[in-house]
Structure 1
Amino acid sequence: MKVSLPFVGMVMAECAQVGLIIVSKAVMSKGMSSFIFICYSNALASLILLLSSLLFHRSQRPPLTFSIVCGFFLLGLFGFLAQLFGYTGINLSSPTLGTAMLNLVPGFTFVLAVAFRMEKVDWRTFTTLAKSMGTIVSIGGAFILTYYKGPPIWMTRFPLNSSPQLFVQLSNWVIGGLLLAVDCVMTSAWIIIQGVFGSAFQVGIVTWCLQQTGPVFVSMFKPLGIVIAAVAGVIFLGDTLYLGSMVGAIVIVIGFYAVMWGKAKEWEIGVDAGVRSFESSSQKVPLLQSYIQENTSVVQ
Structure 2
Amino acid sequence: MGDQNASSSGMGKVFHKIKPYLAMVSLQFGYSGMYIITMVSFKHGMSHWVLSVYRHIIATLIMAPFAFVLERKIRPKMTLPVFLRLAALGFLEPVLDQNLYNMGMKNTSTTFASASVNVLPAITFILALICRLETVNFKKVHSVAKVVGTAVTVTGAMVMTLYKGPALQIIKGHAASHHDSGSTTEPSEQNWLLGTVMLIASCGGWASFFILQSFTLKMYPAELSVTAWICFLGIFEGGIATLIFERDMSVWSIGMDSRLLACVYSGVVCSGMAYYVQGVVTRERGPVFVTSFSPLCMIITAALGSIVLAEQVFTGSIIGAVIIVTGLYTVVWGKSKDKVNTTDAGKSEGQELPIKDDTKSGTDNFDSIEINVPTGVGKSVLPSGRT
Of the three residues 50, 71, 74, the one matched with 2:64 is 50
TM-superposition CA deviations, 1:22-57 (whole Å, max 9, x none)? 222221122211101111111111221112212322
Partner SS state of residue 158, structure 1: helix
The AA in structure 2 aligned to 1:13 is L
TM-superposition CA deviations, 1:109-155 (whole Å, max 9, x none)? 11112112222232222232111111111111111112212122225
Query: What is the rounded CA distance, in whole Å, between the counterparts of 1:264 and 1:215 in structure 2?
Result: 12
Of the three residues 13, 17, 20, the one matched with 2:31 is 17
- Asked if 1:179 corresponds to 2:217, the answer is no
- Asked if 1:169 corresponds to 2:209, the answer is no
Query: What is the rounded CA distance, in whole Å, between the counterparts of 2:342 and 2:213 in structure 1?
Result: 26
Contact 2:114–2:298, Cα closer than 8 Å, also in 1: yes
Of the three residues 285, 288, 298, the one matched with 1:226 is 298
- For structure 1, the residue ranges without an aligned partner over 5 or more in a row are 275-300
> Paired residue for 1:128?
143
Of the three residues 261, 267, 270, the one matched with 2:340 is 270
Two-structure CA RMSD over aligned residues (Å): 2.9
Taking the TM superposition and a 5 Å limit, the aligned residue runs for 1:249-264 are: 249-264=321-336
Of the three residues 115, 130, 136, the one matched with 1:100 is 115
- Asked if 1:191 corresponds to 2:206, the answer is no
Query: What is the rounded CA distance, in whole Å, between the counterparts of 1:122 and 1:271 in structure 2?
Result: 16
Q: Residues 105 and 213 from structure 1, CA distance in 2 versus in 1: closer, same or farther, beyond 3 angstroms? A: closer
Partner SS state of residue 168, structure 2: strand
Shift of 1:213: 8.6
What TM-score does the superposition give when structure 2 sets the normalisation length? 0.63
Q: Residues 111 and 68 from structure 1, CA distance in 2 versus in 1: closer, same or farther, beyond 3 angstroms? A: same
- Asked if 1:81 corresponds to 2:153, the answer is no
Shift of 1:221: 4.2
- Asked if 1:27 corresponds to 2:41, the answer is yes
Contact 1:219–1:260, Cα closer than 8 Å, also in 2: no
12-21 or 1-10: which moved more?
Answer: 1-10
TM-superposition CA deviations, 1:86-131 (whole Å, max 9, x none)? 1111111111112111121111111112112222232222232111
Of the three residues 289, 297, 310, the one matched with 1:238 is 310
The AA in structure 2 aligned to 1:47 is L
Please identify the structure whose Cα radius of gyration is greater. Answer: 1
The AA in structure 1 aligned to 2:215 is V
Q: Residues 187 and 173 from structure 1, CA distance in 2 versus in 1: closer, same or farther, beyond 3 angstroms? A: same
Partner SS state of residue 198, structure 1: helix
Pairs aligned (count): 271
Query: What is the rounded CA distance, in whole Å, between the counterparts of 1:209 and 1:47 in structure 2?
Result: 23
Instruction: Indicate the percent of aligned positions where both proteins have the same amino acid.
Output: 30
Query: What is the rounded CA distance, in whole Å, between the counterparts of 1:14 and 1:46 in structure 2?
Result: 22
Shift of 1:8: 4.7
Contact 2:119–2:324, Cα closer than 8 Å, also in 1: yes
Partner SS state of residue 109, structure 1: helix
